[in-house]
Amino acid sequence: MTTAEPPAVAIEGVSHCYGKRQALNDVTFSITPSAFAVLLGLNGAGKSTLFSLIMRLYAIQRGHIRIFGRDVGHASSEALRMVGVVFQQRTLDLDLSVIQNLTYHAALHGIGKQDACARAADVLARIAMSERANDKVRNLSGGQMRRVEIARALLHRPRLLVLDEPTVGLDIKSRADILGYVRRLVAKDGVSVLWATHLIDEVSDDDDVIVLHQGRVLVHGSVSRIRNAADAQDIRTAFTRLTQGADAASEAP
């Protein structure tokens, strides 16, 4: 008898405050391995705070976060080895070349130089950036920088990729290219993805969707479930109804 694989990420009763301001309030959800999950919320919903907790940038004040069963709070090194991250703010060194950015990151993960160069060449080929390997990052477009950041996040071969608003500031074509590439990682390589966005048109009918608003999960499930929960014909209308309804409830005396 085989044991069921634990969720790619399990968020269990997580709350977080900045002083008196509550950024997350009893957030609970999990995503299955090899799934594309969308954390959908307006700016200020708490998406970046949750990602910072997943990556152990902040201590977890209440609740638990587990990556494939490993507790981020108690076994952070083991858990985080399985995660690749792309933050909303770009973190590449603009004065280094693409390949230098990648091999430096690989060294931080204890990957030897020869292996690092081989892995870098592989991921750059997969994102069609091989010809820019020796270019300084500052000479790339915004979309190309994002592709390099995704390549960097994949160097240590994580099982979970988390991306915080990765298409912000990109043009329509670059957004579509990035989204398409990450979806192919799920389909072809079985990578689990948690994709945070406020852009509803980035949601596909097959996605697992978590609607986060004012630090709370309003609903979690398939797109059809989200629509049914709001009695709406499409995900955009459903999202608007759910968030406006939550706002009205919070303002009620």
Give domain limits for the chain: 1-82+159-213, 92-157
* Contact indicator for 197, 235 with CB cutoff of 8 Å: no
CA dihedral (185, 188, 194, 199) positive or negative? positive
Task: Please report the pLDDT score of residue 252 as a whole number.
Answer: 60
Task: Please report the pLDDT score of residue 26 as a whole number.
Answer: 96
**Residue at 247: amino acid letter:** D
3-state SS, residue 30: strand
Q: Tokens at residue 192, please? A: 């689990």
92-157: CATH number: 1.20.1580.10
List the one residue out of 123, 72, 62, 67 whose CA is nearest residue 98: 123
Task: Please report the pLDDT score of residue 228 as a whole number.
Answer: 94
Chain centroid, CA 181 distance in Å: 14
Query: For the chain (length 253 residues), average pLDDT per consecutive 10?
Result: 80 95 96 96 94 92 95 86 89 92 89 90 86 93 90 90 90 88 90 95 95 96 94 95 87 64
What DSSP string describes 32-75? -TT-EEEEE--TTSSHHHHHHHHTTSS---EEEEEETTEETTTS
Burial of 17-33, coded b for 16+ CB within 10 Å and e otherwise, reads eeeeeebbbebebbbee
HSE-up of 10 (CA within 13 Å, CB side)?
13
At residue 158, φ and ψ (nearest 5 deg) are -75, 160
The H or E element spanning position 222 is: strand 216-222
Task: Please report the pLDDT score of residue 169 as a whole number.
Answer: 83
- Edge to edge, what strands does the sheet with 62-67 contain? 21-31, 9-18, 62-67, 70-71
Gyration radius (Cα) of the chain, Å: 19
Q: What is the pTM of this model?
A: 0.91
Q: Tokens at residue 184, please? A: 């192919």
The correct answer on CATH 3.40.50.300 for the domain covering 1-82+159-213 is yes
